[in-house]
Chains A and B, each alone.
Chain A
Amino acid sequence: MIPKYLTSVKKVDNEEKMAGLALFTDDIQVEGAYFAVTLRSEKAHAKILDIKVPTLPKDYYFISAKDIPGENVCNIIVDDWPVFADKETNYIGESIGLVVGPDKEKCLDLLNEFEVTYEELEPVFEMKDSYVHKEFTKGNVDLFKSSAKVFSESFETGYQEQAYLEPQGMLVYFDKDDGRLTVKASMQCPFYIHKAIMRVLNWPEEKIKVIQPAVGGAFGGKEHYPSLMGAQLATAINKIHHPIKMIFDRKEDVPFTTKRHPSKTDISAYLDDKNNLIGLKIHVNIDGGAYIGCSMVVLSRALIAATNTYTFENVEIIGDAYHTNKVPSAAFRGFGSPQSIFAMELFINHLADYLGVDRFVFKNKYHVKTGDVTSTSGIFRDEIVLDKIIEKAKKMSDFDRKFKEYSKPNSNRGIGISTFLHGCGFTGSGESTIINAQLKIKKDKNDIVTFYTSQVDFGQGNRTTLKRIVVDTLGIPEDHVIYDAPDTSKTLSTGPTAASRTIIIVGGLAAKAAQHLKDIWVSGKEQEIVEPYVGPSYIKWDEDKMQGDAYPGYAWGANVVEVSFDPVTYQVKVEHTWSVYDVGHAIDERIVIGQADGGLAQALGWSYLEKEEAVDGRFMQKKFSDYIVPTSMDLPEMETALIDNPFKYGAFGAKGAGELTFVGGAPAFALAFEQAIKKPVHKIPLTPELIMELVKDED
């Protein structure tokens, strides 16, 4: 069925992207730019005793930690990731230095001539050395001691590669007009790069500018890694004063840039002698890799989301992020919550089976209702319409009939439904204490309005929607508003493009700023407003204790996935999906549905196709021919519906939509698959090789 998008407007970047006019980083021509290639560690954990640099011809340079004028630290959240490995290396592929010069081939030839002497140290590949630990409780967990029975399960999820279509790339040069060190890169967060460069060069803010060109997908994968590249290239250009371009080949991007955290989640249900549920203990473990990076925040989100769409009276939640000698794990759509929600969605169904009660009746008993206390003892304040969402998803998919039919033996077919939520914006009071977004909007004498944000549109359509918020608030023609891609020399920081915060937080800020401008509007006069973010007063959050209201609002959804299974080849086929989301009021339905289908597609890939395996710290799947993302023939027809439920505190009633759409795909898939094979699932990706093991004892 061809959809009709009545609420949508023309995407501002459509034409340039379709016509091939949009300039992505590698499309930008800078006369005579040098190339940079990376010398990478061959060892998972070792002391670097010596780097034997080959004789470098004229105009060729080796850039390493020695060339850093400031600190050898790539600031992410914790200062543990060095810009260049110096005395020690902690993962295979870690950058030791750059070879920079006019001819790329020569740079690569030189790279082969380096000899690095290592003293190998014991590497750690398993999750055993916790470097971030968190725990909190709700209700009375002492009651667990009085339980008569405990039902426990453990769930595992794997690495996932973002697989944005445009690989990582960056260009640095000194702008002839203002003399600033200028960075153009495939990125998510211009100010993160800006700050990383200030730190490594020990430079003031105004000597640097970061400008966003067209970005070919990111999904979290360009939230932090470009900061590392920026710090490295800044070090290089500071030394050689010549423009430099560094574009990764896919075979460099896949094995050496950040991934989704693999996880292992243990859940125990404590039951009394009448099988009443006393409470749950949930322990989420994530593999953070060699450096903490943002793992503590990923862990926080995983823990806060761990009870998913259910309210339990008594809960103990524990989390650990582990140091291992592997590529650091970092941001990826969902940011920890897909891992813990996968575990909880399967667990609650398995628990119902264990108790011998109807799954849907059991889940419904615990479904979150408005006013319920969250796992962190905050309050669910939004109007929650979970029952409507479920009802609609079931109706669209003819769920009840199919569920009954596929329950029969040897059906080799299954249908599964998941419910899920996603907290929008930075965790807790982060928006008002860490981010402190400020948005500048100004009007010239001709009443042309210009506004700035640091939000990157890497495909989500926020350039279109943010502009629309301002246009509609001011009530002026679209071509009277100018809104360009971020440039850190022009915009104040409105924060990173992450955490599903762009529309709910920055959109809200833009609407407020535009309204204030409208309030003081004097035609023919230059006017300017700087609007600071003010969080809702109800948000109180204690990060140390993990107590309080974790998010200003939550978006909700249900996914239904239908699969078939071939018992001869152990392959699964996704037959159809149906999804229903409550993202508040969808300002632009086409854009939201685009997010919805794309998020679910990635989640399905994570569920059964996308395997990334590290053996002795080295990724086995290094290219697009080994790392298997879904093609158009692997994905089914997707039907998606939205429930309009305007959110009081969001711009035009909108909540976040970007990450929500990833969160429920894996559990819905796994539940469908369980029905097809009549066995419980505890691990993804469900590759045919794993499935063979699962069904083995039946043969």
Chain B
Amino acid sequence: MIKYFVPKSLKEATEILSQNDCYILAGGTDLMVQKHRSASLLPTFEKDVLFTNEIKELDYIKVDKEGVHVGSVTKYEKMLKSAQIPDIFRKTIEQIASPGIRNMATMAGNIGNASPAGDTLVPLNVFDAYLVLSSTRGERKVLVSDYIIGVRKTIREKDEIIKEIVIPNLDLEFDYEKVGSRKAESISKVSFLGAYKLEGNIIKDFRVAFGSVSIKVVRDKEVEKKYIGLTKEEFINRKEEIVSDYSKLISPITDHRSTKEYRQKVACNLLSRFIDNIK
């Protein structure tokens, strides 16, 4: 018999999770599709379900010296309207699904769902954002990039729940592009976020992440390091090498949405254009 839990506080939620193996259901926009069978039938949840809907204490956006803290039940729509959320996140969220879905869905859900096409995962990686996971055993912080280990696979222990996502401050120039099948309601074929900082003529920071071109977001700090510290001219002159480095890192697939050749080529084109546009 499947049990349903509707905790009203984080503490209550962690207590439930310490005793029960649950799906954690926030907006439901992923799980309700995955577990849908047919019109008028109940979704086919095969284990217990914990709803986060009533944990009002986790509906927040706060800023401190660590960065922006987004409570895990905060809806995308609230993030879109908040000036505290970095612009690049708002630009990303604005292109996710549709207004209806953004009213229901959460960023924590996007992380928990661990889809290779999860749109917020790309900026979360570039920002080195981390999660605070909570359980009756305490709290731990995990980088989003470490949290997701494969398609729909995370390192969440059964008794843990995402309490919040922390987006560190990052003052860079950004270039985000989502390439989907249409202008709204689309699942990414490729997504790209490039970021850099120029001080004088020196590349002081350089970060790149790709979505939908591997089982998880592709970002490589070793490759980034290689190019940090170059002058702008040196950097731009090594465009082909940079593109080639990333071209080797991504391993897209062919599916019913696109082809591996297209994803590979467009990912490289986007990186190329990003480098061309560095001013």
Contact = CB atoms under 8 A, between A and B. Distances in A.
A688 interface: yes
Contacts of B183: 573, 631, 633-634
B182 A631 contact: yes
Contact of A570 (B38, B40, B256, B262): B262
A626 B257 contact: yes
A26 B265 CA distance: 46
B182 A104 contact: no
Nearest to A691: B262
A156 to B, nearest CB: 18
A514 interface: no
Contacts of B270: 568-569
A105 B259 CA distance: 36
Contact of B179 (A571, A626, A633): A571
Interface in A123-162: none
Contact of A631 (B40, B185, B265): B185
B47 interface: no
Contacts of A609: 181-182
B182 A628 contact: yes
B40 to A, nearest CB: 6
A84 to B, nearest CB: 21
B155 interface: no
B151 interface: no
Nearest to A247: B39
Nearest to B37: A108
Contacts of B98: 631
Interface string B169-193: 0000000010101111111010000
Interface in B221-279: 256-259, 261-262, 265-266, 269-270, 272-273
Contact of A568 (B39, B185, B261, B273): B273
B41 A634 contact: no
Given A632-B184, A689-B262, A569 B38 contact: no
Interface in A23-41: 26
Interface in A541-580: 568-571, 573
A104 B41 contact: yes
A259 B239 CA distance: 46
A157 to B, nearest CB: 19
Contacts of B177: 569
A634 B40 CA distance: 31
Nearest to B276: A568
A654 B273 CA distance: 53
Interface residues of B, number: 28
B41 to A, nearest CB: 5
B184 A631 contact: yes
B269 A569 contact: yes
A630 B256 contact: no
A446 interface: no
Chain A interface, DSSP helix/strand/loop, else mixed: loop
A628 B183 CA distance: 11
Interface in A600-648: 609, 613, 620-621, 625-626, 628, 630-634
In this complex, the member of A26, A630, A689 whose beta carbon has the largest number of chain B beta carbons within 10 angstroms is A689
B184 A692 contact: no
Contact of B266 (A108, A570, A613): A570
Contacts of B189: 688
A104 B37 CA distance: 11
A566 to B, nearest CB: 9
* Residues of A in contact with B, size category: 20 to 34
Contacts of A632: 184
Contact of A620 (B256, B262, B269): B256
Contact of A689 (B37, B41, B258): B258
Contacts of B272: 568
B39 A249 contact: yes
Q: Which of A573, A613, A630, A688 has the most CB of B within 10 A?
A: A688
B260 to A, nearest CB: 10
A104 B269 contact: no
Nearest to B271: A568
B27 to A, nearest CB: 17
Given A568-B270, A569-B179, A688-B262, A104 B38 contact: yes
Contact of A692 (B41, B187, B261): B261
A571 B40 CA distance: 38
Contacts of A633: 182-184
A689 B259 contact: yes
Contacts of A26: 39
A108 B38 contact: yes
B262 A692 contact: yes
Contacts of B259: 689
Interface string B185-211: 111010000000000000000000000
B186 A628 contact: yes
Contacts of B182: 609, 628, 630-631, 633-634
A633 B99 CA distance: 12
Nearest to A103: B41
Contacts of A105: 37-38, 41
B179 A621 contact: no
Contacts of A613: 256
Contacts of B40: 104
A688 B269 CA distance: 13
Interface in A6-33: 26
A565 B265 CA distance: 16
A573 B189 CA distance: 17
A467 to B, nearest CB: 34
A246 to B, nearest CB: 12
A634 B256 contact: no
Contacts of A571: 179
A618 B185 CA distance: 25
A62 B79 CA distance: 52
A244 to B, nearest CB: 15
Interface string A81-106: 00000000000000000000000110
A625 B261 CA distance: 22
A621 B38 contact: no
Contacts of A108: 37-38, 41
Nearest to A696: B265
Nearest to A631: B184
**Chain A CB within 10 A, most for which of B98, B177, B256, B265:** B256
A268 to B, nearest CB: 32
B143 to A, nearest CB: 29
Given A249-B38, A568-B273, A621-B256, A628 B181 contact: yes
A630 B186 CA distance: 11
Interface string B87-125: 000000000001000000000000000000000000000
Contacts of B256: 613, 620-621, 626
Contacts of A628: 181-182, 186
Contacts of B273: 568
A633 B184 CA distance: 7
Contacts of B179: 569, 571, 688
A514 to B, nearest CB: 43
A688 B179 CA distance: 10
Which one of A568, A632, A689, A692 has the highest number of Cβ atoms from chain B below 10 Å of its Cβ? A568
Contacts of B266: 568-570, 688, 692
Nearest to A632: B184
Nearest to B265: A692
Nearest to B256: A620
Interface string B21-47: 000000000000000011111000000
A361 to B, nearest CB: 37
A191 B196 CA distance: 67
A496 B47 CA distance: 51
Q: 6 closest pairs, A vs B, by CB?
A: A633-B183, A620-B256, A689-B262, A631-B184, A568-B269, A633-B184
13 contacts: A26-B39, A105-B41, A569-B270, A570-B266, A628-B182, A631-B182, A633-B182, A688-B258, A688-B262, A689-B259, A692-B261, A692-B262, A692-B266
Given A104-B38, A689-B259, 9 more contacts: A108-B37, A568-B270, A570-B262, A573-B183, A630-B182, A634-B182, A688-B179, A688-B262, A692-B265
